[in-house]
Amino acid sequence: MGKSVADIDWRLAPFDDLTGRQVHDLLALRQAVFVVEQNCPFAEIDGRDPLARHLLGTRAGALVACARLLPASPDWPRAIGRVATAPSERGKGLGRAVMIEAMRILLAEDTAAPIALSAQAHLVERLYAPLGFRIDGEPYDEDGIPHVDMRFDPQGPSSSISGGISGASAGGIG
């Protein structure tokens, strides 16, 4: 039987609660995806990780997916960022699974507050829009990659998520 998202163990932790090995694996995965794979040299370590909680998805002890959950600030609502899946795990629904798990966590904490993200433009229709995120602004270039800000409003029309997340854990998404 093939690997599925049901095999993923999810852990949410503030940065200071991560072990040295978890920080290493988290930064290695993000560097492999955002810097090396996308051929995009940029300051991946941006100072925001200590402010965030980190969602780690592991299979058999190996990190295969992650996301960064940032608290709201005066300029930005709470946000999901740095969503990454291991290249060897692509095509199995893991990107959707990590997003659903992140949204499930945030919505369990506050069912009314919006959730923001900065999306790579090529993922808008394939990943984020089906989860209820809507474009919130004009496209822009970030480090040579087209991006657009998006927002999920739990109280608005986008709260009807294609496939739903209420009561679902990401492990149950196929």
Average pLDDT, consecutive stretches of 10 residues, N- to C-terminus, the chain (174 residues): 78 97 96 86 86 97 97 92 94 94 96 95 95 96 93 76 42 28
Kindly state the tokens that stand for 41: 């040299």
The torsion angles phi and psi of 141, rounded to 5 degrees, stand at -95, 130
CATH number at residue 112: 3.40.630.30
For residues 91 and 69, what is the distance between their CA atoms, to the nearest angstrom?
Answer: 23
Helix (H, G, I), strand (E, B) or coil at 110: coil
pTM of the predicted structure, to 2 decimals: 0.87
For residues 123 and 40, what is the distance between their CA atoms, to the nearest angstrom?
Answer: 17
pLDDT in tens, 76-85: 899 999 999 9
Helix (H, G, I), strand (E, B) or coil at 10: strand
DSSP secondary structure code for residue 13 in this structure: E
Question: Domain count of the chain?
Answer: 1
Kindly state the tokens that stand for 157: 């029309």
Domain range holding 17? 5-172
